[in-house]
Every structure is written in structure tokens, then in C-alpha cells.
Amino acid sequence: MKRLFILLILGISGCGGRGYFNHDLELIKYVDAIEEHTGLDLFKDDYLIVFDTSIKYTLDDRVTGQCKSIKGNPTRIIISESYWNSFDTEERLSLIAHEVLHCSFRLGHVKDTKQHTGRLMSPYTSDSAQCVKNLGMIHCIEEAFAQSEAGQLEDISASEHIH
């Protein structure tokens, strides 16, 4: 019975900082930093944030991150570890903020990427990072909510996969 209990605990909590049922500790530090800097609650209990390699999930070669929400399963933010390792701090913060806004607030990408380059909800990580580098995280997040209210973001309410 004791052995069964230990196996159950390990199965629920996972082993170490990476795993199918745990936030990746390196990634969650960035979510914490964004929350601390902006004062926003990013609802960390509503999703798991993990590297693609820790759950053996393959992202498309051009995808840096994805919010994966399938009915009946926990929502996951999946980050490409190969891209992550090549990013600087602002690119990492931008990627995390971008994917969290997809998962937590159901914000889509900007509809007109030519008119809205350098915005946090651009589908391109380089544009998202440009926003954070030039304008700051708080401004970029406030702008994303304003764009949503103005109807400038795609509707993702029924989407399972958002990049």
C-alpha cells in the first residue's frame, strides 16, 4: 500500500522540474517575472508551461511556442527548447507573454501584420520582442488588450492550437 501511494504521488507531481504534469521551472520563472513586473494575474494554475522536449511533442519547425487547448485535457503552453536556447531575455519574455495571453485571456494574433508590426500579439517572435524592447512589457500587454477590444485581433475562441 505504501509503495502504491508513493507511485501515485510521483505520477501526480512528476519527478524533478520537468515533466508532463509540472511547469518547467525555467519557464515558470519568466511567467513569475511578468506577473511581478505588470501586476497581472496570469492564472498559472489554468495551464502547464513546458518545453517541447520534456513532453516529447514536436512543434512545426517555424513555431517557437504554442498554446494547446483540447477539451478534456489540461491546457499546455509548449515552448520550443531549440528556439528558447537561441533567444535573448527580451525574446524569451515576449514569447512567454505572447503564449500566456493566448491561453489565459484567449487573445489572438493581430489581423493586419503589415499595419501592426512590432506588436506583442504579432505571430512573429521577432515582432513581439521588438515591442518589449522598444516600449516595455506593461505597454505591450496593455496594447494587446486594447487591440482585442478594438477588434484588431483574430478570434481564437474555438481554436485548439494557437501559435
| Spatial distance between the Cα atoms of 120 and 126, rounded to a whole number of angstroms | 9
What's the pLDDT tens digit per position in 125-156? 788 899 999 999 999 999 999 999 999 999 88
- How many other CB atoms are found less than 10 A from the CB of residue 61? 8
**φ and ψ at residue 31, rounded to 5 degrees:** -60, -45
Domain 14-162 CATH (choose: 3.10.20, 3.40.390, 3.90.550, 1.10.3470): 3.40.390
What's the pLDDT tens digit per position in 74-117? 789 999 999 999 999 999 999 999 999 998 898 999 988 777 77
**φ and ψ at residue 24, rounded to 5 degrees:** -75, 125
Confirm if 23 and 92 have CB atoms less than 8 A apart.
no
pTM of the model: 0.81
Domain ranges of the chain: 14-162
- How many other CB atoms are found less than 10 A from the CB of residue 30? 21
